[in-house]
Chains A and B, each alone.
Chain A
């Protein structure tokens, strides 16, 4: 189950962060998302270590922490998408698929002429779309 998704801007500032848990651990998830930016930075700054992932937007598993797994995605405009899930056995293809759909939702949201680039995304449509994508996560047929 996806517990948190986030869009992070150029200055590593959160543009959109939404958690999908009943429990009161939103703050903890925010911390996890924030920490995962270190891994993204490391991946981006030392591309030689990650070798084959050089030109790929999907960054793969960022790091495992207690009961969560954190995945990352970096767009061409250097906007980061972070996904936190509690599933311990996740297929890479599912995550890729999720990010692809998430990316297109993001593109639609920022293409809104009333959206100022670099500001937080407050679009309600975007939020609804994201929650749909999150709910359908794991069902490969949903692609």
Chain B
């Protein structure tokens, strides 16, 4: 595209001109250029230059117009016509006059008039439009209306085409510049339209003498349309010109045949370029591509004379290149790429939307051109001929025409050429260019472009052609790099023939650059390619030669001669670049991804997966090669990660070649023969043993062939053996590296050497389940039975049996209480002093992990310690203990031996605490809160009265307590573990920071002797509490239990020695509501009665309020008693006083008897009272009993409670 002239490549820009007042020109020019669309301005310094616009000679068009004798058309387009209109002939001329000249004295005015006349005379011939600009020179200038009219008349202008410019006034200047610009664009539009119409008329009249002229006129119309941005019309006429031009082919005889075609193609090229540009700029990509295809198809067959055929190919190549470039720039701009395919009779393939496609074909045609040109050069090889004739040939005045320049003094004349002369000229021009560089550049464009859109095969193909060009040019470095990158694709996809070709080039590259290792690698890979039968690819131009078995063998032999000949002196001189001197050697590395796996593959399998140290096992080394000929290996070296295991296998037939002193120290085996037959496994089995525990892995197998050549294969396991990339596709039987069918699937190149058996016992003593809260001791004992223990380490791990952590996720993991189970510490051996181990020994103690070091234990000795573990919640855990040690004191050969032991330990809750409150016997306060609740539920549920009674009697946990009254608080502790427990004390302790709001009796004394609680037994303790006066909440504090596991026989001594081992369990007592009861009913009755013996039954009703209380009461009859007193009555109890109702009762039956049931109702509170069943019965003796003294105390106690 760059070789086109600038005026063709860019869209035309309106050209204007101005003359006079040259100091203002820069200002106006820049302003016009900044317009949208821009306007070019030709500034003429003075009036004399205006003659530039004069027509030099009579216009041939005008001659035709005047129908003068037939005019001979010399060409289609004039070469400089477009340039002339873009840079020389303006559409509008602005004449600038200072106002003082116009409105000044008559002599100046006359000058202005004569200037105007001369301008008019020049521009009229060209139809150029005129604008007059008056420049204000002085603010005092008087604008005379008469002069203005006179000026307009002189200039033959309308008033609007006279602009007044005032350079001194900024805002007015902007306005007038703006106006000037709009006048310019308007007038230039008029100018181009008129010109276009003028030319169009000529076409329409159809009296044009030759077709060439029609093409030319269409072109002109289109250009004029472009000048005024009428793209549709421009496109239409360009296409018209193009089609008309197509008709000329074969019709015109104006020029000799070859040159005629050249001219037509050049013109069509220009027209096509314009059309494509316009189509692409308006976003019609599909149309553009279709157009190009037509263009290409139309001219493809117009090859022309055979001697100038290269001109055609060059032209074709240029078409592709230019269109590709256009497509690329437009796709960058429009971004609507690629478009959807339009279904049509001949659908476009999506490939035709890729610029790369065009670059690729441009390169193709250029290489075609090159080959034809080379032929033409060789045919016209006349070296002694003087090229002076060609030198003076140059482009003539018409597009696509060439002529001989004849210089005669100052006169330059053009002389037409004959076809021979032209061909000669073209050939000599062609010789000057290096086409291969151009081809490489084109291919590189295509290659990059394809790579960007990830079309890798196409780009590889371009790369291949590019690399071939580089190779031909002798640029080995570039060629090799590209060949390498595309070879990997062909390897991956298994295109053997293509790979063969590429490798052939690579081989030649390395041969030329003298890199022997590369040469050997490429050659061996070629030789090992799966090419068995004739693939049909015969001797191509490439250096690889035909792809068949014979050629593989030739390559194979060449390599092995090369690597083998180092010792012998080189015989053949042609491979002079490649020599191996005696002191250097070639070693090839074959790893898992190397293409050289085809050349040699080593599979290594241990026959056992684990072995004991010192015991021996078998190892099988299998080698396979796909080289076409048998290879004889001199020596194999097997390398392991434990270098002490390395060994050599030497060929018995070539024993003398084994050299080197280092092999003396290592193990050397001898094999009868090491012949590697093509595609057959060579299997070798040997014993191997290792003393070192850990992994024993075979790393590599090094095969030495001759003294200077070695192939180092990475060892591969048969179980995970990747199939060979290319050979798997071949239709041949797959063989396995090992005969043993089990090892084929499970054989590994590494084995595990076990560590020696531990000879130390690790015993975890367990003593049943642990109890929550206590420090649980787990004794750990190490007994050495054959090993000394050096630098032993004991690792302790606590793991939740159910999985998950040992701490609750709610709590922060760093607080000490957060762990449900916690490793507290490790204490020294049992029986010794109870002090903890030395701090140096304990390396680390965490909540669930511990690490301690074990001192040296001699063979036969033992050592023990105790783990202290504390449960915070009931939870089963798994305790893992492992010991690591070395059996000997040798630091360098430290082989750790490990013993593991684990134990599951349950953690149980030891004691469950319960508590409840009781009122004093036969004394019931009226608690309104409770009553309210029951009455509410009564309303809701319509519970019958008897049910209510039951509820009242059964709810032994009152919701609130009477204030200022004594009540009883019972704490019971139940042993729910499976072991007996000693209970030391139950006490109620104040909470920190919370004041207790009651007084407690029998509070905090320890039990005189720790009570023994067997499993399931319950222990109760009674406290009597009374709340303080002015409080609504009873805050008791925390129940605190001190207990420990019963130690059985050793209980006595243990209790004296370990005082601190009492476990404290705490439980908070919930707060209780307290309220003042308005009424308190208490019943008095003797503790027992005697049959027939009357006694008095008192009922005291205490009114604690300031109000008079109305009480209705009743007493039901009882079977076992005869009574006297009111059955029903209503009494009024005075404020703060007590009313006593008394009955006389005579028991009629003995045994436990129900007293007559007393019930009462407080009218004020609507509260009924009924005594509970237990408090409403009395025991009746048949006769007066004889109590012992002990009984009397009992009686007294009961009585005292009753009194309270």
Binding site for B on A (CB under 8 A): 9, 11-15, 17-19, 24, 26-27, 30-31, 34-35, 37-39, 42, 49-52, 60-66, 115-116, 118-122
Which chain B residue has the least Cβ–Cβ distance from A4? B536
| Interchain residue pairs with CB less than 8 A apart (16) | A11-B494, A13-B494, A13-B495, A24-B538, A24-B539, A26-B540, A34-B461, A34-B493, A39-B349, A49-B338, A64-B351, A118-B728, A119-B728, A119-B730, A120-B730, A120-B731
Q: Which residues of B from 304 to 338 have beta carbons under 8 Å from A?
A: 338
Which chain A residue has the least Cβ–Cβ distance from B346? A61
Give every chain A residue within 8 A of B496 (Cβ-Cβ): 14
Q: Besides the contacts A15-B729, A35-B461, A115-B731, what 12 more A-B pairs have beta carbons closer than 8 Å? A: A17-B535, A26-B497, A26-B536, A26-B540, A30-B498, A31-B464, A34-B493, A34-B495, A35-B457, A38-B455, A42-B350, A66-B364
Which chain B residue has the least Cβ–Cβ distance from A66? B364
Give every chain B residue within 8 A of A12 (Cβ-Cβ): 493
CA distance A26 to B540 in the complex (A): 9
Q: Are B349 and A64 in contact (CB under 8 A)?
A: yes
Which listed residue (A11, A37, A120) contacts B457, Cβ 8 A? A37
Q: Are B455 and A122 in contact (CB under 8 A)?
A: no
Give every chain A residue within 8 A of B537 (Cβ-Cβ): 26-27, 30
Q: Are B493 and A27 in contact (CB under 8 A)?
A: no
Give every chain B residue within 8 A of A63 (Cβ-Cβ): 349, 351-352, 357
Residue B542 at the chain A interface, CB threshold 8 Å: yes
**Measured between C-beta atoms, what is the minimum distance from B538 to chain A in Å?**
5
Q: Are A119 and B457 in contact (CB under 8 A)?
A: no
**Measured between C-beta atoms, what is the minimum distance from A122 to chain B in Å?**
5
Residue B180 at the chain A interface, CB threshold 8 Å: no
CA distance A52 to B456 in the complex (A): 26
Q: Are B536 and A19 in contact (CB under 8 A)?
A: yes
Q: Are A122 and B731 in contact (CB under 8 A)?
A: yes
Which chain A residue has the least Cβ–Cβ distance from B544? A27
CA distance A49 to B495 in the complex (A): 29
Give every chain A residue within 8 A of B357 (Cβ-Cβ): 63
Residue B340 at the chain A interface, CB threshold 8 Å: yes
Q: Are A26 and B538 in contact (CB under 8 A)?
A: yes
Residue B501 at the chain A interface, CB threshold 8 Å: yes
Q: When A24-B539, A37-B457, A120-B731 are in contact, do A49 and B350 touch as well, CB less than 8 Å? A: yes
Give every chain A residue within 8 A of B349 (Cβ-Cβ): 39, 61-64
Give every chain B residue within 8 A of A122 (Cβ-Cβ): 731
Give every chain B residue within 8 A of A66 (Cβ-Cβ): 361, 364
Residue B343 at the chain A interface, CB threshold 8 Å: yes
Kindly state the interface size class of chain B when it binds its partner.
Answer: 35 or more
Q: Are A34 and B498 in contact (CB under 8 A)?
A: yes
**Measured between C-beta atoms, what is the minimum distance from B322 to chain A in Å?**
18
Binding site for A on B (CB under 8 A): 338, 340-341, 343, 347, 349-352, 357, 361, 364, 455-458, 460-461, 464, 492-498, 501, 535-540, 542, 728-731
Which chain B residue has the least Cβ–Cβ distance from A39? B351
**Measured between C-beta atoms, what is the minimum distance from B310 to chain A in Å?**
17
Which listed residue (A18, A34, A49, A115) contacts B341, Cβ 8 A? A49
Q: Are B457 and A27 in contact (CB under 8 A)?
A: no
Which listed residue (A27, A50, A116) contacts B497, Cβ 8 A? A27
Q: Are B457 and A38 in contact (CB under 8 A)?
A: yes
Give every chain A residue within 8 A of B341 (Cβ-Cβ): 49-51
CA distance A14 to B494 in the complex (A): 7
Q: Are A42 and B729 in contact (CB under 8 A)?
A: no
Q: Are A30 and B731 in contact (CB under 8 A)?
A: no
Which chain A residue has the least Cβ–Cβ distance from B734? A116
Q: Are A24 and B361 in contact (CB under 8 A)?
A: no
Give every chain B residue within 8 A of A119 (Cβ-Cβ): 728-731
**Measured between C-beta atoms, what is the minimum distance from B498 to chain A in Å?**
6
CA distance A121 to B731 in the complex (A): 8
Which chain B residue has the least Cβ–Cβ distance from A115? B731
Q: Are A49 and B340 in contact (CB under 8 A)?
A: yes
Q: When A13-B493, A49-B340 are in contact, do A27 and B540 touch as well, CB less than 8 Å? A: yes
**Measured between C-beta atoms, what is the minimum distance from A9 to chain B in Å?**
8
CA distance A11 to B725 in the complex (A): 11
Q: Are B351 and A27 in contact (CB under 8 A)?
A: no
CA distance A143 to B128 in the complex (A): 73
**Measured between C-beta atoms, what is the minimum distance from B723 to chain A in Å?**
11
Q: Are B340 and A38 in contact (CB under 8 A)?
A: no
Which chain B residue has the least Cβ–Cβ distance from A52? B343
**Measured between C-beta atoms, what is the minimum distance from A137 to chain B in Å?**
19
Q: Are B731 and A116 in contact (CB under 8 A)?
A: yes
CA distance A19 to B338 in the complex (A): 33
**Measured between C-beta atoms, what is the minimum distance from A58 to chain B in Å?**
13
**Measured between C-beta atoms, what is the minimum distance from A49 to chain B in Å?**
6
CA distance A115 to B730 in the complex (A): 11
CA distance A11 to B723 in the complex (A): 15
Q: When A42-B455, A120-B731, A122-B731 are in contact, do A14 and B539 touch as well, CB less than 8 Å? A: no
